[in-house]
Amino acid sequence: MTEGKTVLLIDDDADFVDLNKKALEDAGYEVETAYDGEEGMQKAKDIKPDAIVLDVMMTTSTEGFEVARDMRNDPKTKHTPIIMLTSINAPEHGLPRALGEYDKDETWNPVDVFLNKPVSPEELLEKIEDALKR
């Protein structure tokens, strides 16, 4: 399933990117990386990855949500599976309630999967493989 498949990791946490890039490459994926939403959006349009793993809080606290909406509105990326991975639900961020799978929708958070950090590389791989089957 992974042969010839490319995953784009968009996250400002270099340690997270390095760890998961290695795990994905070991599983047979080609991996591209970006460290903010602008770079991620451009790479997504240029390389047309098979799946995107997108952080929420990067340059701004909501950048990932904005990038996900931009991707769904762009013909080059509108059908690419997006796995949103974030620590936005950590207590220190003070949300009135945790965000999760129930918050996915076509306008505000148009992603295929919503995962909370920390997530193991194994779980991330499983979610990517599931998204690619859809």
**What's the CA gap between 56 and 101, in Å, rounded?**
14
Number of structural domains the chain divides into? 1
- How distant is the alpha carbon of residue 87 from its chain centre? 12
Residue 27 lies in a domain: yes
CATH number of the domain to which 85 belongs? 3.40.50.2300
**What's the CA gap between 32 and 58, in Å, rounded?**
17
Q: What is the pLDDT of residues 29-63, one digit of tens each?
A: 999 999 999 999 999 999 999 999 999 889 988 89
pLDDT at 114: 82
Q: What is the pLDDT of residues 65-98, one digit of tens each?
A: 899 999 999 999 999 999 988 765 444 444 444 4
Residue 127 lies in a domain: yes
Residue type, 111: V
pLDDT above 60: residue 130: yes
The helix or strand, by DSSP H or E, that contains position 30, with its residue range, turns out to be strand 30-34
Beta bridge partners of 52: 8, 82
